[in-house]
Structure 1
Amino acid sequence: MAELQEIFKEIDSAIKDDPRRAKGMKAIYQFNLNGDESGTYHIVFNDDNCYAAEGEIEDADCTMNMFTDDFKKMVDGKLNGTQAFMTGRLKIKGNMGLALKLQDILASYNQAAK
C-alpha cells in the first residue's frame, strides 16, 4: 500500500487536474489517522481553490478519525465509508453529509486514476 504522504499528494494532483468532480462544493475535511503510519491531513474544496495537504487546519467542516489502514482501504474502494462508520472504524465530528459526499468524490477520482 502507498504511504500516506503519497496518497494525499495523489489526491491533491487529482483535485487540481480535474476540479469538475467537486465543482460547487465548499468543504474543509480533516483526517486524523492513527496506526503504524499516523498523521493529520486535510482536503479543502472551495471553488477554484481545491487542494490536499499535510497538517491540521482550522475550522474543518468534517473531521474524520480512523486507522490508517482503514483509510487506505476506503481510498482504494475496498472499504465503504458508511460501513466503516456504522461499525465504529470511522468516527466523524461535524457535518456527516459532507462525509458521505467525500466518499463519492474520492471514488470518482479513484475510478479516473485506473
Structure 2
Amino acid sequence: LTGVKRELLQTPNFTCNLGFDHTLKGSEITYGAAYRYVGGYDDPQEYFISQSQKGYGTLDLYANKRLNKTFKLQFNVKNITASTVETTSRLYDAGGAITQTQVDKEHTKPQVLLSIEGKW
C-alpha cells in the first residue's frame, strides 16, 4: 500500500521482540523470558508463482547461574508455544488465474538446551 517494495522475497514485513531479565541478588542466578513475533509476508506474483506466510510467535524461557569467574551454567527452553508456520504458494496461468494452491504447515517443537559457557 505504501509503494515500498521488499527487495528480498520471503522476508517478514516486521519482527517484534519483547523480553525481560532479572537477577536474584546474592545467588548470581539470572532468569528471563522473551517473546518474538515474526510478521507474515505476502510476496507478489513472480514467474507465475506467489507465496505468502502467516505471522507466528514464539516464547523462550531461560535461567543461568554463574559458577565462578570462568564458567556459567545455562538452561533454556525455546519455542514453548510450539508455533506452526503456515506458508501458502500459488501457481498462476498466463492469464493470471490461480491454477494450483499449496499450503505447507511446519509444526515446530519446543527445545530444551543445557550448556556450560566458559571464558578464557
Bigger RCO of structures 1 and 2 (CA < 8 A, at least 6 apart): 1
TM-score, normalised to structure 1, is 0.24
- More strand per residue: 2
TM-score, normalised to structure 2, is 0.24
Larger Cα-atom Rg: 2
- More helix per residue: 1
